[in-house]
Amino acid sequence: MIYLDHAATSWPKPPEVLRAMAAFLERAGGNPGRSGHRLSLEAGRIVYDAREAVASLFGAPDPLRVLFTLNATQALNLALSGLLGPGDHVVATGMEHNAVMRPLRHLESGGVRLTVVPCSRDGSLDPGKMTAAIGPSTRLVVMTHASNVTGTILPVSEVARAAHARGALLLVDAAQTAGVLPIDMQSAGIDLLAFTGHKGLQGPPGTGGLILGEGVPASEMAPLVRGGTGSRSEHEIQPEDFPDKFESGTLNGPGIAGLGAGIRWVLDRGIDALRARELELGRALSEGIRNIAGVTVYGPENPEESTSIVSFTAAGHRPSEIGLRLDDEFGILCRVGLHCAPAAHRTIGTFPEGTVRLALGAATERAEVEAAVAAVRKVLRA
């Protein structure tokens, strides 16, 4: 089996991740922040260590402003619904995932004004168009860091400068880049960063988070869920303390333990080293697929302008057919269709059938890339 669906979730997970999750359940199974006994305190320590690991990786100003969620989708919903209300203006790009677009369309129906800035056919974004769309009433700019369809990396720092010049905040969806590309919130000007744990961070499903920069007025931001926090229990109103205001209910302790281990695995190996390896493999995969007759590859030709995703179609073949045959005949696991991002597929011209997406990861080997190229060639010749 050759696993090339890392943009959906990374697999296999590092052994350190599995050990950390088992250790939490075996030796620290208490409820973090809910009791004063040793198991609860140990659980709380593991959770806080994970917050520190997140803050270290992303250059976050304060570990207590790392809010744990179930995934990037929940993090994005927390940010969008917590900050936007009727009359507010929000700007997004034409390459967004439905984790952004569906909450925005819902908010739009309630009076939020939405502007979607079109991107080019390769998924790239002209910062000037984004700047022109941001006005005095813009409250928030939201953008993916890199497309889950084409891998195209968008110009976050340039958009941040434009947003801040007009008093707007920048929310970045880093689902595809956390653990894959270097990210420093402060130097990039990112105000809110949504990430998921189960992709490039090598953590388990059911983990993710939202990081609030120092410029985010958290007192004006509403929580997505209200309830027990283990703090201020004498009150029946939600506390304002960080991170409790935004983390009601029992946290996913084993998952967060695994997430912390995954992030430490990434930090130990170094983002730059991981990126360099994926660039080398991504270049080989992209060139190999592009050289197959009848194939159209979407996204930038330069691998340095994208993550290690190769998204393609082939004349005379449906994406679903290609994906099925790659799995059945060659044991190659990929993803086909719209990838929960119809806006991106409309942008690149592949709606409604979508594409075949081959997505590399930290566990991918060179021989697997070569086997995938050969398999695609055989499928398309048949």
**Token pair of 263 as six digits:** 């992030």
**Cα separation of 162 and 258, whole Å?**
37
Run of H or E residues at 69: strand 66-69
Q: What angle do CA 204, 209, 213 make, to 5 degrees?
A: 150
Instruction: Provide the token pair at 116.
Output: 């979607």
Buried b (16+ CB within 10 A) or exposed e, 219-237: eebebbeeeebbeeeeeee
Q: Which residues, other chains included, contact 131 with Cβ-Cβ below 8 Å and sequence gap of 6+? A: 159, 162
Residue 195: its H or E element: strand 192-196
Q: Which helix (H) or strand (E) holds 221?
A: none
Cα angle 255, 169, 114 (rounded to 5 degrees) comes to 95
Phi, psi dihedrals of residue 222, rounded to the nearest 5°: -85, 140
* H or E element that contains 342: helix 342-348
First to last CA, the chain: 21
Q: Which residues are catalytic?
A: 340
Q: Where do runs of H (alpha helix) occur along 229-341? A: 253-269, 271-290, 319-330
Nearest to 197 by CA among 13, 4, 2: 13
290 burial level (CB within 10 Å; 0-12, 13-18, 19+)? middle
CA distance 10 to 371: 19
Separation in Å, CA 298 to CA 43, 248, 272, 311: 45, 42, 25, 6
The sign one gets for the Cα dihedral 362, 366, 371, 372 is: positive
Rounded CA gap, 270 and 273, in Å?
A: 5
